[in-house]
Structures are given as structure tokens and as C-alpha cells.
Structure 1
Amino acid sequence: MTQTATQGFIVHPHIMTELPGPKARAMIARDAEVISPSYPRDYPFVMSHGRGTEVWDVDGNRFLDFAAGIAVCATGHAHPKVVEAVRDATGDFLHISSDYWHERMIALAERLARLAPMGEPAMSFLCQSGTEAVEGAIKLARYVTGRPRFIGFLGGFHGRSMGSLAFTSSKYTQQKGFGQTMPGVTHVPFPDPFRPLFAGADQGEAVLDYIRMLFERSVPPSDVAAILIEPIQGEGGYLVPPPGFLAGLRKLCDEHGILLIFDEVQSGVGRTGRMFACQHEGVAPDIMTLAKGLGSGLPIGAVVAKKRLMQQWKRGAHGNTFGGNPITCAAAIATLDLVESEYAANAESVGAYFMNRLRDLANDYPCIGEVRGRGLMIGMELVEADGSPAKALCDTLITRAFHHGLLLLSCGVSTVRFMPPLSLSKDEVDEAMSYLRSALDEAIAGPKG
């Protein structure tokens, strides 16, 4: 790999034009006239095609994709086995609706029942997205418990429809202007040992004590249907809870007859090196939500629940039109085949290698406050000299990385998140690290004269 310096910036041969290039600029201008401005676009990448971890824009510039469509492209872009499964399915039929039966829908649900971490028989409700999966989960929790209230966590992201939005609290902009969402949700802190909210205490136990205090003073536990939590918090900063916290939450729920819902939309399907992130702690949920990586890019979600809970739903209690679509089910089955056979293990091994490379980088850059995560769900938090979040530096780094040919996104206040395809190789890690180091140098140096 060769590179040259121009006007203080590194220029790589795989970047063929200025960014954005002329074709990209033209498409962005067309988009501005007809697409909602509510989509948060961080930098002007206009995709042409992709293979594995590599993607190309419409001007022929080549990038490494370490965002993977927000952790969606679990098996990489256009994996041949996923593409083949989709093509086979399209040759049969495109849609029949969930009012009827078909083989791929049943086969996917059977696979999810076998993989489910509940420790007892499970059933699934199939849908199209993570937010719809969360909506289904909270409806199920209310239905089977007869209770109206919930506990959520500050920093959590669970979707943008009005029920899931009631739990989402990673950025106030997601709620601003929409009035009251679903009532009955009380938020508590998510335990963060790097930025402890409770001084001089075990952060996990302190949060559990905080919930116990709420139960004594303002939230009757007999009114609480469920506690909803991401086993690793995503948008909130890629926060890994302290050991024992999820187990303590499970015990607290069991004490009060409260259901425990794990939102594994981002952390599930091999992302952390296990099929589900909760398996690192050996804690079983009552209900689990899946989406993102489940379909390798096709829109699919699932509510997976203990069978004794979901079978309480009566005919018509919950439904949809596109759930169990044969095309998305085919993609999900092929994805699970790949994740089970090789990619979860690859995420664990290559993720460990990547974490070590990032921690070596941190030794050279005091602005890297912490590297954390599991598997290929990794966060690198940037800090100012006083330890406060370095938001401006994080934003600049994301932009500079794009100009080097590395697609990244942020989370939390100042955390760079790495969520590449689970097929990632060590060579691709090494290539990305060279771009990251150059981008970080430029971000620290600031604008060139």
C-alpha cells in the first residue's frame, strides 16, 4: 500500500477523486429535493456496490466499511451464499402475507427456537425492523402480565416508533417535537465504570440499588411489566455492563414477577463473538428482540420469547402484513448458517486482535480514554485533556477517516464505534488501522492553513 502527502493530508491511491466526487455530488443534490431531511447523514458517501468489507462509491473510490450499514451487513456485502438464497427464494414467490404458512418462515422460526438463550422452549414473531420487534416485545409483556409500566435505561436506543421511542434516550433530538410518547416508562442509569455516576461504588450494584429505591418510593414493582435493556448498550456508547449486573437484574426481575427483555437488535447474531451478547454473562431473558444483522441487509426483525409467554397471545392480538416474508427469511437462514459455522468465531478472534491493535494505538494517543467491547462490537472513547468527552475531535475523526477510505460512525458523546462485517480479516484490520492513525493525526492537528 502506497500513500502520498498533499497539503498536509495523506492521499491514498484507492481514493480516485475529491470527496464527494462529481457523480456523488449530483446524486446528493437530487436526494435533497425528494428525500426527508430527517435522515442523519454524517458524510457524503454515495454507494455503488460492495463485496465483503469493501465498498465503492459511484465515482469509483474504494472504502473499508467498518459501519456495515449500522451493524446490519453481518456476513459482509453481497455474500454469495446469502445472494444465492435470496435468488432461489425470489424464483418461488415474493409474498404471501403472514396470514398463511410457508416453509422458509417455519424453518427460520425453528432455527431461532433452537438458538434462543432462554433455556426453555421458545417461539418467534417475525417482523421487518428492530423498532417493530421492540413494539412487539413491550406489547407482549403488557399482555401476559397485565401490568402497565416499564423500566428502561438512560442512553438506550430501541427505535423511533412511539412505543420504542418511549425507551430511547440516547439523544434528545430523537424525542424533541413529538410530544408525549407511550406513558409508563421510567429510565434509570446504565452502569458505566469509565464514567461512574455513583462515586466509590460498584456501578452495577449501585444501579440495582437505585432500581430497588424506585420500587420503594415511586414505581410499585407490581405495576412493572418488564425491564428492557441492551446487554451491551449501542447508541449510548458501546458500554459493556460490569460483570454480574445482568445476573443481578435477572434476580431482581424474578423477585417481583417482572419480565426481562434483552434488546439484541445490534448486539445479537454473532456480533460479540457469541450468537447473543447475553450469553457472555449466562443470563437468560424472557423476551428478546432481533433485527439488523439477522438478514445480512434485508429488512427483518424478530421477537423471540419463552413459548409459555408467547403462546398466550390470542388470534389477532398482534400481527403484520410483511412478517415472515419468504425473501427475508431466506436471507436470515443463510445468515445464521454462516454465523453459526464460522463468523461468530471469527468475530471473537479477529475482534480480540482488533481490540489489541486499538489498545496499542491508545498508548500513543492520550486522547483515547478507553477501548471497550466484545467481538466486533468495539467502542473507542475520545477524551479531552481533563477527561471530559471530546465530541468535536470524535466528529472530525469520523470525517477524516472517510477521506482516507474508512467508513465509521460514532455513538455516545465521543465514542468511535467499530462494527464491521463479521467476516472481517486481520489484514483488513491492519489496513484500517493505518487509515485510522492518519485520520487521528489530522483530526488532532486541526484544519490546514
Structure 2
Amino acid sequence: MQLGDALPSIRHPIPAAAGRSWVERLSQSECPALTTRRKRREELTGASHDPIVWVEAQGANVVDSDGNRYVDFTSGFGVAFVGHRHPEVVRAVKRQSDRLLHALGDLHPSDVKITLLEKLCTLAPWPQARAMLSLNGSDAVTAALKTAVMATGKTGVVAFAGSYHGLNYGPLAVSGFAKRFREPFEAQLQPDVHFAAWPSADLGVEAALETLPRDWSRIGAVILEPIQGRAGVRFSPPGFLEALRQACNTNGVLLIVDEIFTGVGRCGAWWRSVDEGVIPDLICAGKALGGGLPVSACIGREEVMRAWGNPDREAIHTGTFYGDPLGSAAALASIELIERDGLAQRAVDRGKLFAAMLRAEQLASVTEVRQAGMMLGLQLEGRLRALGVSRALLERGYLVLPAGAEADVIQLAPPITVNDEQLQGFVASLRAALGGS
């Protein structure tokens, strides 16, 4: 079976000699914060958390520096929705590289950047839209937060406990997941952020809404993820997003929806929030958008984005590589694939099948399977359980991510190219990793 469609093949220890050499080199050159995280996980689980070093990927498969082959159920943090190194994305990038690698940004843009902006506006849920391109999710959120200030004149933001919008200064200030991310930089962060509660099994929609601010006079925006990914694939219950939209309307506040993980087909629609019946004012997109290259966007209603159009100002939000030709070409190819091949609907169908397979196993250690398209969360019994289970799955050739404040959720976001045999192999390996329960 060719690379992309193959089952795992683990022939060497993880990591073996080549991998250990790379990891040692990494420890001598990488920011030590990441090395420290691995050591902390080893202390918590009693197992190695040394990384594998990727050298090749195709479709749903990844190959490490020791020659081991894996099935990637993370899509590289959700990026490879259309599959790693999709041939059409690769061809688009190669064609673009043959004629133009870089342009002059906001002064003299490339044709492919303009084409991508036009395409993104057609995917927006408003009759008229404008977009701003950038490189990663944090950039897109930063653009949205700035847009809200420009449009409303107000700097206050309502965000949510458990939210994760990125670690640049603007997004970090509104990220409620793991206070330890914010604490070292607290003095430099935007202070006017109100963290409201996210509904849960213990806190209903009405109770969560009671934690919204009483005084909205300083608030310019509400920002949320339709599904909180890093917090453990936590869904918004029915009625919650609609109530937030109404609160924004009542108080003259903009609704920013961070669709960086949930959007662009991953959850079965272009935009999860719109699929839920809620039209935001600003949408942040990324990850799957670039088909493997770093591309993100802030897309907004034209009347909101018009706030940037003061002729007395310079271009006060831009970047050297925003809308670069290679990323723009990759994004256009990715969008064309998703539209032409009906990949959003395929995510609906494949996601339902995968969730049914997981539930049919009736694993006692899995207390809930949460699913929207090809974004799933497996709730496990026991704090920190996901750390050990994710490593056990890696040893069996399946890449997954632990999630949740208590590291008690396995987050799954495989490429849409994952086949039935790979899904079945994962389910069998999950049972083994959980000790058969």
C-alpha cells in the first residue's frame, strides 16, 4: 500500500538512534521551555515523551527519522485537512515558485494574493465582505481584535474560560486556557478583558450567561471558539451562541468567532458558527486554509472593515509576508479541493462513521465521544490519563494530541483522506492503549 493510505509500521524504538541524535541536537538549540515541557510530562507519566522527528508525510501518513511510519490523527494541529502534501497543493506551490516567490506586500501586491482575497470574500456569510491576510492563527486574531477597536472605539473584550486564541500578546490576553501562559506577561497584556464561563455539564447555558459583564460600556467585542479545542473539544450547547449574538446586538458589540480550527470544512461546513445558525461580525481562519503552508485571514463584514479606511492613516496593520505568493497559491488550491470534491460533506459523513466506530467499542475508560465533522474529543476517566494514552498510541503508530485542562481528553482531527482501514486500526490500538477497557 502506498504512502498516504498505509497502516503504521513501527520497526524501531521511538526514538531510535537517528531520532535520539536529532532530539539531542534539538535540546541544544531550541528554546528550553519546550524541552522542559517534555521533562514535566515524563515526570507525570513515568514514560518518555521525546518527540519523533518528521522527515516525510503524505496523505494520512508521517515517516520519522528512524524510518517508522505513523497515521496522523492530528493533521499537524489541524493543518493537513486535505491530507499531507496533497498533489494539487504541491503542484500549485511549484507553479507559483516558478514565477514569483515574493512581492511587495501592501504596496505592490501579487496577483495571487488579490485572487485569494476575492475568494475568501465569496466564502463569507455576508453580502459584502473584506479580508486581511496573515501567517498564523494568532495573527488573524490580532487583526480581528484591532478591527473591533477601530470599528467601535472600545478596547474591552469578553472572552471565555478555557479559550485558546494563540500566544501573541493580543490573543494571549483573551486566552482563558491555562493561566500559566499569561502570568509571566501579565503586566504587558491588555487588562480590559472579562472572562465569562463556558457552559459545561455542571454549568448550564443560563448560568454561564449570568457571568457576562453587567456593564458593557467599555466592551467592543466578544471573542469565542465555536468548539473549544485545546480545552478538550468542548462544544457550545444549543442556544448559547445565539444568546451571545443577541447580547452583542443589544449592547452594540462585535462578535468575533475564531474558526481557525473549526472552519474551512473541518467540522462539516465552511464555518461552524454559521452552520450553527449564528452570523458573526468577524471570522478568523487559518490551519486548513493553507493546505500545509502558513496562511491565515481575518474576514469581516464590509461595514465593520471599513473602519480601517481613514485616508489620514498609514497602513497601520501589515506584515512583510502577509499574503505571500506561495501561501496564497496553496490556499487557493486547498479551497478549490474542498469545494470541488465536497470535502466538508465528506467530513460530516466520515466523522459520523468514525464516532460510531468508537462508540461501538463501549470502552469503559472513554466516558464520552464528542464529534463535529472530523473533529473529535474522547473524554477519558482520570486526570492526566490522556498523556499516557497518547504516548501509548504513538508507540503503536498513531499520532494524537492530549487536551483539556486536566489532560483527560484525546483530541482527534485526522486528514479527510484517512481510510477505513486506518480508522479501524486506530480503534483497535486505542483499546490496547487503554488496557482493553
TM-score by length of 2: 0.91
Q: Contact 2:71 / 2:397 at 8 angstroms: preserved in 1?
A: yes
Aligned-partner Cα distance in 2 for 1:137–1:391? 35
**Structure 1 counterpart of 2:45:** none
User: What's the CA shift for 1:79?
Assistant: 0.4
Offset from partner CA, 1:126-153 (integer Å, 9 cap, x none): 0011001111110110111011201000
Offset from partner CA, 1:100-159 (integer Å, 9 cap, x none): 122211111111111112x33111000011001111110110111011201000000001
Please state if 1:269 is matched with 2:280: no
Structure 2 residue aligned with 1:257, among 233, 238, 252? 252
| Structure 2: gaps of 5 or more residues | 2-6, 39-48
User: What's the CA shift for 1:22?
Assistant: 0.9
Please state if 1:403 is matched with 2:395: yes
Please state if 1:208 is matched with 2:206: no
User: Is the partner of 1:221 in helix, strand or coil?
Assistant: coil
Q: Contact 1:191 / 1:242 at 8 angstroms: preserved in 2?
A: yes
Structure 2 residue aligned with 1:429, among 404, 410, 423? 423
**Structure 2 counterpart of 1:447:** none
| Structure 1: gaps of 5 or more residues | 2-11, 198-202, 384-389, 445-449
User: What's the CA shift for 1:72?
Assistant: 1.0
Identical columns (%): 34
Offset from partner CA, 1:374-395 (integer Å, 9 cap, x none): 0011000112xxxxxx123221
Matches within 5 A, 1:22-421: 22-39=17-34, 42-98=49-105, 99-117=107-125, 119-180=126-187, 181-193=189-201, 196-197=202-203, 203-211=204-212, 214-215=213-214, 220-313=215-308, 314=310, 315-342=314-341, 343-361=343-361, 363=362, 365-383=363-381, 390-412=382-404, 413=406, 414-421=408-415
Q: Contact 2:8 / 2:398 at 8 angstroms: preserved in 1?
A: no
User: What's the CA shift for 1:437?
Assistant: 1.5
User: What's the CA shift for 1:48?
Assistant: 1.3
Letter of the aligned partner of 1:426 in structure 2?
Answer: D
Offset from partner CA, 1:202-259 (integer Å, 9 cap, x none): x223222331xx21xxxx2121100000011111111111112111111110011000
User: What's the CA shift for 1:62?
Assistant: 0.8
Q: State the number of aligned residues.
A: 411
Aligned-partner Cα distance in 1 for 2:384–2:250? 44
Letter of the aligned partner of 2:322 in structure 1?
Answer: G
TM-score by length of 1: 0.88
Q: Contact 1:291 / 1:302 at 8 angstroms: preserved in 2?
A: yes
Which 4+ stretches in 1 moved above 6 angstroms?
none
Offset from partner CA, 1:32-63 (integer Å, 9 cap, x none): 11111233555421111011001111111110
Change (3 A) 1:296 1:393: same
Q: Contact 1:353 / 1:426 at 8 angstroms: preserved in 2?
A: no
Change (3 A) 1:210 1:169: closer
Aligned-partner Cα distance in 1 for 2:8–2:218? 61
Q: Which moved more, 1:80-89 or 1:338-347?
A: 338-347
